[in-house]
Amino acid sequence: MIPGSNKLYELQGFLTNMLYKLGSRVLKPVYEIYEKWLWMQIRRGPFPRHIGIIPDGNRRWAKRLGLDPSLGHVYGYEKIKEVLKWIWELKIRYVTIYTMSTENCRFRDEREREYLFNLARKGLAELKNMREIHDRKVRVKVFGALDLVPEDIAELASELEKETSRYDSFQLNIALCYGGRHEIIDAVKAIVKEALEGKISLDDINEELFSRYLYTNGAPDPDLIIRTSGEERISNFLLWQSAYSELYFCDVFWPEFRKIDFWRAIRSYQRRERRFGR
């Protein structure tokens, strides 16, 4: 790494963001008209109860602009905070954000893993002190293979969960070092353990009971899952819970995800007939 190159990347990011904002100002009148038109279409609902988000494309967005890929994660982190506000404005009670997969935690190079962990530290600390979390009564749950994260991050997550455990207006699930297969295996192990201890019988095991052993216990299955960047797969995200979720794939990279992109996803959801296999 060239000395001072981090500062150079930060300057590049700042200038890129300024150019983006300048372009946004030029197009602002058109954007505002389109936004109002979209709102007129979706405002009467129905809105999903639970949204899952796979915020993909941070590194590709940065590379496309000639920036250090790590800066993509910074802009992606800021976008998550913005999108959460849009979700809560629509009174959507549950949201699950796929922040890091088990593969991210195990196989990304050490430098990038540390960068992502630093963002996780910053994010959890901010959530603890974020006025909106407390004003809106948002319960926060952090789940995944937390044995893969540094101990201080796991402690921060535990503190945040305790501080918000009595809130019941909204729920924010943060999937950290998460994998759907790993979650299902954890659930199976817990059920087998209780069966061997005589706490449950074989006949007790059904879909409803199994769901209670998942990390998302207490939340409904996601009605809508949004993935950005143009990739059309769910990548080990909420495998059990997404059996009847509506999937929406958006071409834009996550850092450039706009309110109109979010509202388009809501509009798509509203236009679908949900039959749940019937």
- The catalytic site residues sit at 56, 104
With beta carbons less than 8 A apart as the criterion, state whether 74 and 255 touch: no
Cα–Cα distance for residue pair 125/33, rounded to 1 Å: 37
Within 8 A by CB and 6+ apart from 98, the residues are: 52, 53, 54, 55, 175, 178, 235, 237
3-state class (DSSP) for residue 187: helix
Identify the CA nearest to 14 among candidates 88, 83, 89, 74: 74
End-to-end alpha-carbon separation of the chain, Å?
57
Q: Which residues are annotated as a binding site?
A: 56-61, 73, 101-103, 108, 227, 233-235, 246
For residue 29, cis peptide bond before it (omega within 30 degrees of 0): no
CB atoms within 10 A of CB 106: 12
Helix (H) or strand (E) holding 174: strand 170-175
Residue set of the binding site for Mg(2+): 56, 246
Binding-site residues for substrate: 57-61, 73, 101-103, 108, 227, 233-235
Please give the helix or strand (H or E) that residue 50 lies within, else none: strand 50-54
